[in-house]
Structure 1
Amino acid sequence: MANLRSMVYRNSDKLNSSEKEVLQFVMANPEECSKLSLAALAKKLYVSESAIFRLCKKIGLSGYSELRFGLEDMAQAAKNAASMNSNFPKELKNASETAIKYFETLDLDGLYTDLEAAPMIYLYSTGWQQELIAQYLHHELFMIGKNATILPSALDELKIASSRAKAHDVFFIISFSGDNQEINDEIAHMELTNSQFKYVSFTNLRQNKLSYLAQYNLYFPAITYASSNALPNGYAAFAPAYILIDLFISQYLTWRQKNGKD
């Protein structure tokens, strides 16, 4: 999801005066408002819950949950006491080399076979940076003729996708930590009730619950380039994830040619 301020700016012409007042208040008080439920915020601002939900849609959000995420990000940025990592260029180089060496160890024949048979590839991400990675993967899959769709980050989207799944569909879950309890619980439930999907986890380079649940695992190293009191993991760069996607797609094309699929 794009920066909340930029989304509001781009869609300001769609907003009435009451909606602009609501946004002005929540953006002026992001920390307070990010902790409120939809009902609590509606009561505080003397507007209906449906009015806030419509407002979210107008500025390009999937719902109130994404508005809260945006406000949390604004609050964290405001409290940021970041210290820059002077070794970042070297660490980025090392992480990129690690991603390449890691990829060279992978046997992806099974995953490529499942991708080739997949009528649809679903891409689900758990945060804004991860959504950008999903968008990049979506573009690369599109360029080689594979049908893929990006799901909004709301938990309900997992349930909807599960109900629509067809045989041989492939489901990528892109998560920094791989340890979001709600998402992992839903994935575990989906595996018990729906055997249609093949699951692929795409997470940071460490053990996590999500990778245990998925049939296939891809890992990327992330580098913290600035620490922050507001963010437990600091500000992280995800360049190695994009390198891994490029390698993954390139190898997929090679696999296709080798197996007479292209």
Structure 2
Amino acid sequence: MDIEMLIEKYQLNDSESQVLRFMETHKESLKKMGIREVAKQSFVSTATIVNMSKKIGFSGYSELVFSFSNSTTSKLVSEIVTEKERDHFVQLMKKYRDKPIMVLGSGFSQNVANYFSEFLNLYKFRATANSHLEFLRENLEEEILIMIISNSGDTVRLTELARMANEHHIETIAFLGEKNSKIGRLATLTISTETYSPKVFREFSPNLFFGTALNQFELLMSDTLKSIFN
């Protein structure tokens, strides 16, 4: 749970922010403390804590405590991204912290690209979900980062852009359903869900790419933000 993001997103007042920060600091002992003790230690009323919990989307204090006490992030990271991929992703995101990031998708992947871009902008990265070809010209090496989202990894337009970036030595992070694809071979870093199958369009077959790619991005960005702000 990203406390500072919640404070900013829901425009919490000083008292509400104080409670959340206290809970984050003491999350290991929240179940033993109880709401009255948290209120006492935070110098607020129990009503303030309950109202704050509901304000940020929880049914009440108990559900908020459960969220603090049951993080599965470490397990998920190890299951869907490797340590090498995580370290490389964090290194690239820190390198381009204050530089343009172009996030590209096509079809359903464009919706994912839009989400990535909005998420990055929330944390003051300079992201856009549009294709600006002037960003792919020569002499922009290490001045812009490209992110590409593609289920097959062979989408024609995105492959062309990945090839242009590669030829101009512009670093690229690709979220793909197939690692050994055209885009996967061109990218600086490929994060693959390994879920792509041409048979995915069979009736009622689940398409696991988009949900898994979103989870990978969220987990990788969690590590990135911790590395930047902690």
TM-score, length-normalised on structure 1? 0.49
Pick closer, same or farther for the CA change 1:100–1:137 going to 2, 3 Å.
farther
C-alpha distance in structure 1 between counterparts of 2:155 and 2:114, whole Å: 21
1:29-57 deviations in Å (ceiling 9; x for gaps): xxxxxxxxxxxxxxxxxxxxxxxxxxxxx
The residue number in structure 2 matching 1:44 is none
User: Per the alignment, do residues 115 and 207 of structure 1 end up closer, same or farther by CA in structure 2, a change over 3 Å counting?
Assistant: same
Which residue of the other structure, out of 196, 209, 215, is the alignment partner of 1:243? 215
Q: 115, 118, 121: which one pairs with 1:136?
A: 115
Any conservation in 2 of the 1:140–1:249 contact (CA below 8 Å)? no
Cα offset, 1:183, TM superposition: 3.5
Task: Work out whether residues 176 and 192 of structure 2, in 8 Å CA contact, stay in contact via their aligned partners in 1.
Answer: yes
1:254 aligns with 2:226: yes
> Is the Cα–Cα contact under 8 Å of residues 104 and 158 in structure 2 kept in the other structure?
no
- Taking only aligned residues, the RMSD between alpha carbons, in angstroms, comes to 3.1
The equivalent position to 1:202 in structure 2, one of 175, 197, 200, is 175
The more displaced of 130-139 and 98-107 is: 98-107
1:102 corresponds to: 80
After TM superposition, list the pairs within 5 Å mapping 1:202-241 onto structure 2. 202-222=175-195, 227-228=202-203, 236-237=207-208, 238-241=210-213
Unaligned runs of 5+ in 1: 1-96, 152-156
- Specify the SS of the correspondent of 1:241: helix
Describe the SS at the equivalent of 1:116.
Answer: helix
Deviation at 1:159, TM superposition (A): 2.9
Give 5+ residue unaligned stretches, structure 2. Answer: 1-74
In the aligned structure 2, how far is the partner of 1:143 from the partner of 1:149? 12
Distance 1:171 1:206, change over 3 A: closer
Q: CA deviation at 1:242?
A: 1.5
Equivalence for 1:180: 155
* 1:46-86 CA distance string (max 9 Å, x none): xxxxxxxxxxxxxxxxxxxxxxxxxxxxxxxxxxxxxxxxx
Shift of 1:180: 2.5
The percentage of aligned residue pairs carrying the same residue is 15
Shift of 1:130: 0.6
CA distance in 2, matches of 1:107, 1:226: 29
- What TM-score do the two structures reach when normalised by structure 2? 0.54
CA-CA distance at 1:247 after TM superposition: 0.4
Q: Select the structure that is richer in strand.
A: 1
State the AA in 2 paired with 1:147. Answer: R
Do the aligned partners of residues 148 and 189 (structure 1) sit closer, same or farther apart at CA in structure 2, a change above 3 Å counting? Answer: closer
Verify: 1:161 aligned to 2:140, yes or no.
no
